[in-house]
Every structure is written in structure tokens, then in C-alpha cells.
């Protein structure tokens, strides 16, 4: 059935909202933004053709408020809703309500969301599709269940406690021994309840060292299920991805074919439609991959796949939602070059504590091989209520080292952010690290890297000789190496101060 989309309401904010609006503009589809009170001056509001206030600061009053979102779409003549990522993107109830309201849901069928949203059910389905599984137990509510399973199956710690309904690292806690099991389970359950309204938990053996590899899928109503190759998202902190890339530097061509085929097989089995991702844990020692979960939505890191395939995934989602057939076959999907993505979160680069406030200065990288998805502008506020991501910085080159070099240039020489702390110094030191350059890193790399950087004392053995500064220290220092514009700002700051206050006592 063909349904033409003329106006899309984007039930999201910041980067996902503006990202989707760009494609809509491309296709001359009108857009409706929604916003909470503190977001009234946010960039997605300014960018949309129409904007609707949907509630107060807390997400439950605004971006999670299903009824208001649908009412806003209807009132503004939107014929479709794109949920972006996060918020209601993987909420099957919402998808059903959207469809019931006569609107087009730009996403997978509600049943697919529901099936994959329950991590336990997802595993059962995956198992039937011959997808390899990590040992684990489901439906966990009590500590004793975990203890019994560990004892019976001879499972070694560490373990991972996860929200059955979860994703994005929320409601996910790692347990390194049996002692803090109780507190960990309680915390994970509480976070899960808050983030997803469901505190059903599952527990798995934790693969270490592990890599995180995922396959991008697009599927249409006409039975076409294609993969757009894989992405590697191994660099994470607190189970949230920090740097992603495509393709993966860790896979042999043979494993790549296998993992992509496995993902397609699973999605076909589910009857998946729209863009989605099958995530795997990859054990580089034995070169085996295990099913992790299916993300039934557009993902933050979709851009790196777009860069190596030349496709616009949001545009494909619109086509698919309109009932069209994907205009190419698997043989028509080619990859070329290498893409990296760095997440610019408003966070302290060492402690990862959120850093909200006003972006007082923002210089955005440009030039060959750079793509930016920007969710905030200079002068904008980063409110404390939502996710800390406000910009995605992607670079693209023929070879991996080209993409890394361009990323280094973009972070070191172009990007300037003041007013809030960002992950940028950490990102720069990560991409400059030999381990990263060699592609030989695990999901625990950042954790270990930060430990090294922070705990190693300042060495002062040869005070006048060559020092070997701490890696992080050194790179953070080069990051703060000022360019002409930075230096000019320092002077302007002084002129502003003295102009306002007059001659100072210390003079």
C-alpha cells in the first residue's frame, strides 16, 4: 500500500531531530518539531517548519508524552511520526497508537519492536534463527536466581545485569564478584524502571575482552531484507558508545560475510521492516560472535554506514514507510573507504559527569572528509534533563588511517567548545593512542585508559631532562594548544573585564 508522506512530526530533540529534518528538507517534506519548556529556543525548534510545545522539562511530561505527541501531529496536519532514537523510538505502544491515529509510523512494525524489545523473547527468537548466544538467564528478579545459575553452570564472573526492555546502557550494571550483587541488581532494576517503565532483568556472562560489532539492516514490506555492512562500536564508557566506525577493523572478510548473513537471517525471521540493527558481542580471541540484541530503530551511529555506502538511511526509512520497495538489491550495496564517528557529549572527559550550561563558544569543523550532525548552536543551553549528546562528528577517508588523521585535525585544529565540558579531549587522546590506531582494543579500553591516565603520578625524576608526560596529560595539553582564535578570545576576555571594571588594584 502506497502512502505518501507530506509532513512529518519528529518526536525527538537535538541531534536526532535535526538529522531527520535535513533529509526531510532534501525531499521537500514539511517537518513539525516538538519541544519541552526548556527547549523552546533549541536548534530543532528553529529548524522545523512548525513547532509545538508539548510539556514541561521532564521527559515524561514532554518527549515521552505519547498522547500529546499524537495530538500535536494531528493538530498540525502531519501524516507521519519519526521517533528518532531514544525516548519513544522503541516503544511498541506508541507505535500502535500512532498507527491507530491514522498516521504513518516511520519505523518497524509494533510487533517487531515488542518482540525485540523484550530481551528475553528476542533471545528465544534469535536462537531459533541459529544466531549464536552468550550463556545467560532471563526473568531475573532475585539475587538467588543468579547465584543458583552461577553455581549450576559453573559460570565465572564478571556478569552483566541488563534491563530486559533496555538499550543504550541504561539499566545495565556489570558485576565483578558475588558481593555487590544485591545493590547492583537493585540499581539496574531502578534505572530500568525509570528509563523503560519495566524492571524485568536478565543476566549474562560477560565476555572480556570483547568487541561490539553490529550490522545495519534495511528491510521493506516487499520481503527485501538487506544489510549495509557492519559497524564497530567497541569504544564505550559506562556501556555507552563513544567512538564508532565502519567497517570494523577486527573482522576477516569471511567473518564479515557470516555476521552480515546472520543478521539478515534473523531480521527476515522476525519479519522486520524499516531500518534496524543487529548487535553482536565479538570475542576476538576465538573469532566468534554472539547475539546481543536487536535495535528496532535508527541508531546514533548510522552516519558512518551512510558514509561508506553513500546511502541516506533516514531517506530509506521514509521510502519504506511510504510502502515503496527498496530501490536496490544486496548486490547493489557497495562499501568504500572508512568512516569514524566521535560523540560530542557535554560531559567531563575524565569523570564523565554531565556538564550542563550554556555553550558560550562553538566553532564547528569543516573541510574535506568531515560530516557534522549538530543538535545545538553557540549560545544554546544544554539542559540537565536529557541525554548529553549534542553533536556528532564524523570523518571519512579512503583508508582507516585517513579517517583517523582527519578526525585528529577536526578535533585538534577546528573544534572549539567553551561553556560546557565535552568528551573532545578524551576522544582526541583515544584516536591518538597506538592501541586504537592498531585496532586492537576491547570494550574495557576506555576504563583502563582512564585509570592509567589518572592514577599514574607525575614523574619528576629528571627535573631538567626530557620528561615522559602521561599520555592523557600530553594529549589534553595539545588539545588545549591554542590557535589564533583562542588567543584572540583570551585577549577579548581581558578587554571585556577591564572595560567593565576599570583599572585594577594589582596593576
Partner 1 sequence: MECINFAKPGMSPQEIVSRVRSLPGVALTSTGMRDAGQSDYKNRHRIIDLATLAPYYDRMGLFSVECHGGARWHVGIMNRQESPFEEIAILREQMPNILLQTLIRETNLWGYRPYPKNVIEQAVAAVDIDVWRCFSFLNDVRNMRTVAEAVMKRGRLFQPAISYTQADWTTNEYYIGVVRDMVDLCGGTDEIILCIKDMAGVGSPKRIGELIDAIKQAYPDLVIQFHRHTTDGLAIPSLLAAAHAGAKLLDVEEDSLTRFYGQPPILGVDAYLTESGIPVHLNREQAELAVQKAREWNGHYVWAESPFKGFDHSVIEHRMPGGAFPSSFEQAEKGGFLSSMPAILKVMSLYNRIVKYFDVTPGSQITWVTCSGIVNRYFKEKGQAGVDEVIALLTKFVAEKGQNFGTMTEGEQQELLGLFSTAPGDFKNLLLGNYGRLPMGWPADWVYQSAFGSEWTKAIRDRKDLSPLDVLTDDDLPKLRSELAAHLGRSPSDEEFILYLMHPKDALTMIAFRDEYGEAPLVLPSDVWRAGLRRPGDSVEFELGGRPHRIELVSIGAEHDGTFPVVLRVDNKMRVYTVDAPQTEGKSGGAKNKTRMATGASQIGTPINGIVWRLGGPGQNGLAVGDTVSKGTELANIEAMKMENAIIAPFSARIEEVCISLNETVKEGQLLFVLSEA
Residues 235-264 that bind partner 1 (CB under 8 A): 238
Using CB under 8 A, count the residues that bind partner 1: 49
The yes or no reply on residue 325 touching partner 1 (CB under 8 A) is no
Specify the pairing of strand 361-363 against strand 170-175: unpaired
Q: Which residues pair with 278 in a beta bridge?
A: 215, 294
Q: Please report whether residue 494 would count as binding partner 1 according to CB under 8 A.
A: yes
Q: Report how far apart, in Å, the C-alpha atoms of 109 and of each of 96, 237, 302 are.
A: 8, 31, 20
475 within 8 A of 425, measured Cβ to Cβ: yes
Out of 50, 469, 471, 478, point to the residue binding partner 1 (CB under 8 A).
Answer: 469
| Given 134, 356, 372, 439, the residue binding partner 1 (CB under 8 A) | 356
Q: How far is the CB of 186 from partner 1 (least distance, A)?
A: 6
How far is the C-alpha of 23 from the C-alpha of 320, rounded, in Å? 14
Establish if 145 lies at the interface with partner 1 (CB under 8 A): no
DSSP state of 243: E
Q: How far apart are CA 244 and CA 306, in angstroms?
A: 13
Using CB under 8 A as the criterion, what x/- string covers residues 169-208 for binding partner 1? Answer: -x---------------xx--xx--xx-------------
- Is there a catalytic annotation at residue 238? no
Shortest distance (Å) from residue 388 CB to partner 1: 5
Choosing from 13, 68, 237, 297, the catalytic residue is 297
103 in Cβ contact with 82 (< 8 Å)? no
Give the three-state DSSP class for 164. strand
Q: Is 75 in the site for partner 1 (CB under 8 A)?
A: no
Cβ-in-10-Å burial (0-12, 13-18, 19+) of 310 comes to exposed
- Contact flag: residue 79 with partner 1 (CB under 8 A): no
Structure-block grid coordinates of residue 37 = 519548556
Long-range contact list for 95-104, CB < 8 A, 24+ apart? 97/66, 97/67, 97/70, 98/70, 98/73, 101/70, 101/73, 101/74, 103/70, 103/73, 103/74, 103/78, 103/79, 104/3, 104/5, 104/79, 104/80, 104/321, 104/322
Q: Which is nearer to partner 1, 332 or 465 (CB)?
A: 465
Q: Binding marks (x or -) toward partner 1, 379..398, rule CB under 8 A?
A: -----xxxxx----------
For partner 1, give the closer residue by CB, 199 or 306. Answer: 199
Please, what is the minimum distance in Å from the beta carbon of residue 221 to partner 1?
34
Catalytic residues: 297
Can you give the binding site for partner 1, defined by CB under 8 A? 170, 186-187, 190-191, 194-195, 238, 351, 353-356, 384-388, 458, 460-461, 463-464, 467, 469, 473, 477, 482, 484, 486-503, 506-507
Amino acid at each position: 500500500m502506497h502512502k505518501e508522506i507530506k509532513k512529518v512530526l519528529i518526536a525527538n530533540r537535538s541531534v536526532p531531530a535535526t538529522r531527520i529534518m535535513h533529509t526531510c528538507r532534501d525531499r521537500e517534506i514539511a517537518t513539525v518539531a516538538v519541544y519541552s519548556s526548556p527547549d523552546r529556543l533549541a536548534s530543532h525548534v528553529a529548524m522545523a517548519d512548525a513547532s509545538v510545545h508539548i510539556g514541561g522539562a521532564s521527559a515524561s511530561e514532554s518527549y515521552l508524552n505519547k498522547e500529546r505527541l499524537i495530538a500535536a501531529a494531528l493538530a498540525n496536519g502531519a501524516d507521519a511520526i519519526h521517533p528518532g532514537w531514544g525516548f519513544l523510538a522503541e516503544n511498541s505502544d506508541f507505535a500502535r497508537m500512532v498507527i491507530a491515529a491514522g498516521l504513518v509510523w516511520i519505523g518497524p512494525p509494533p510487533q517487531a519492536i515488542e518482540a525485540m524489545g523484550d530481551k528475553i523473547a528476542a533471545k528465544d527468537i534469535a536462537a531459533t534463527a541459529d544466531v549464536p548466544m552468550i550463556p545467560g538467564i532471563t526473568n531475573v528478579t532475585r539475587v538467588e536466581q543468579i547465584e543458583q545459575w552461577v553455581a549450576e553452570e559453573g559460570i565465572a564472573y564478571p556478569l552483566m545485569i541488563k534491563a530486559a526492555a533496555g538499550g543504550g546502557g541504561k539499566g545495565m550494571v556489570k558485576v565483578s564478584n558475588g558481593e555487590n550483587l544485591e545493590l547492583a541488581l537493585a540499581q539496574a532494576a531502578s534505572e530500568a524502571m525509570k528509563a523503560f517503565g519495566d524492571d524485568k532483568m536478565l543476566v549474562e556472562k560477560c565476555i572480556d575482552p570483547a568487541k561490539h560489532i553490529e550490522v545495519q539492516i534495511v528491510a521493506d514490506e516487499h520481503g527485501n531484507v538487506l544489510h549495509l555492512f557492519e559497524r564497530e562500536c567497541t569504544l564505550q564508557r559506562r556501556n555507552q558508545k563513544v567512538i564508532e566506525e565502519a567497517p570494523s577493523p577486527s573482522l576477516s572478510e569471511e567473518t564479515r560475510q557470516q555476521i552480515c548473513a546472520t543478521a539478515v537471517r534473523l531480521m527476515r525471521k522476525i519479519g522486520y521492516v524499516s531500518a534496524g540493527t543487529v548487535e553482536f558481542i565479538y570475542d576476538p580471541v576465538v573469532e566468534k560472535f554472539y547475539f546481543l540484541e536487536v535495535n528496532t530503530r535508527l541508531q546514533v551511529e548510522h552516519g558512518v554506514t551512510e558514509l561508506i555506502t553513500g546511502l541516506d538511511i533516514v531517506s530509506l526509512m521514509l521510502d519504506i514507510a511510504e510502502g515503496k520497495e527498496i530501490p536496490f538489491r544486496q548486490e547493489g550495496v557497495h562499501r568504500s573507504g572508512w568512516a569514524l564517528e566521535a560523540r560530542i557529549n557535554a560531559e567531563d572527559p575524565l569523570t564523565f559527569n554531565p556538564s550542563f550550561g550554556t555553550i558560550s563558544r562553538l566553532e564547528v569543523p569543516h573541510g574535506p572528509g568531515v560530516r557534522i550532525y549538530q543538535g545545538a548552536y553557540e549560545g544554546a543551553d544544554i539542559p540537565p534533563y536529557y541525554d548529553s549528546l549534542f553533536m556528532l562528528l564524523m570523518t571519512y577517508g579512503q583508508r582507516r588511517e585517513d579517517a583517523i588523521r582527519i578526525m585528529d585535525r577536526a578535533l585538534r585544529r577546528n573544534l572549539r567548545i567553551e561553556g560546557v565540558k565535552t568528551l573532545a579531549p578524551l576522544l582526541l587522546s583515544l584516536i591518538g593512542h597506538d592501541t586504537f590506531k592498531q585496532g586492537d582494543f576491547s570494550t574495557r579500553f576506555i576504563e583502563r585508559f582512564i585509570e592509567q591516565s589518572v592514577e599514574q603520578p607525575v614523574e619528576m625524576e629528571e627535573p631538567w631532562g626530557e620528561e615522559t608526560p602521561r599520555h592523557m596529560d600530553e594529549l589534553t595539553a595539545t588539545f588545549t594548544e591554542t590557535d589564533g582564535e583562542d588567543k584572540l578570545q583570551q585577549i577579548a576576555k581581558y578587554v571585556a573585564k577591564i572595560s567593565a571594571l576599570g583599572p585594577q588594584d594589582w596593576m
